[in-house]
């Protein structure tokens, strides 16, 4: 069984996905490549339930494309995206998985619960780091923490 990692690389990738989702959901994407942005819009459906609760319906491959729109030098791989979503769920506890069929399904439907308002991207990203470090500190007794990625 693979070890669960809460190391720096996993943290960076998870934060990168969160940042990408917030930029997209707040309609703050760089429009220099408007055709690509327009092509991805129908594939990542979002709705804000409140200022702190974001519902997303998509597939991992579109989340991968989204991370490439934010920074084409650090596109996340599908397995990295799935790992980040799992850490949002089981470690940070900010993701509610709304899928009816979870095993093997490429469709993702989830709700993100943010710490701050949707418009406070930087505050949410800073809190992400604080929360990650706080929770990582409490993992030592479980014997599942990896040091790398």
- Average pLDDT on 119-135 reads 97
Query: CA 67, 71, 77, 83 torsion: positive or negative?
Result: negative
* For residue 134, pLDDT beyond 90: yes
Res. 145 pLDDT band, cuts 50 70 90: very low
Give the range among 23-37, 76-90, 124-138 with minimum mean pLDDT. Answer: 23-37
Report residue 114 CA to chain centroid gap: 11
Q: pLDDT by residue (tens digit) across 38-94?
A: 888 999 999 999 999 999 999 999 999 999 887 777 799 999 999 999 999 999 999
Instruction: With CA atoms as reference, report the closest residue to 30 among 77, 73, 74, 71.
Output: 71
Average pLDDT taken over every residue of the chain = 87
Regarding predicted confidence, which is higher, 35 or 28?
28
- Average pLDDT on 7-27 reads 95
- Give one DSSP letter per residue of 47-65, joined into a string: EEEETTEEEEEEEHHHHHH
Residue recorded with tokens 């506890």: 93
Res. 133 pLDDT band, cuts 50 70 90: very high
């Amino acid at each position: 069984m693979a070890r669960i990692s809460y190391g720096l690389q996993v943290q960076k990738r998870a934060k990168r996905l969160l940042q990408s989702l917030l930029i997209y959901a707040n309609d703050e994407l760089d429009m220099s490549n408007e055709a690509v942005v327009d092509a991805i819009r129908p594939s990542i459906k979002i709705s804000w339930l409140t200022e702190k609760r974001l519902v997303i319906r998509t597939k991992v491959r579109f989340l991968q494309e989204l991370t490439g729109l934010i920074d084409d030098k650090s596109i996340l791989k599908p397995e990295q995206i799935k790992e980040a979503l799992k850490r949002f769920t089981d470690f940070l506890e900010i993701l509610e998985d709304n899928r009816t069929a979870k095993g093997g399904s490429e469709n993702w439907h989830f709700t993100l619960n943010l710490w701050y308002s949707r418009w406070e991207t930087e505050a949410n990203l800073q809190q992400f780091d604080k929360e990650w470090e706080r929770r990582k500190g409490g993992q030592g007794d479980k014997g599942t923490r990896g040091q790398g990625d």
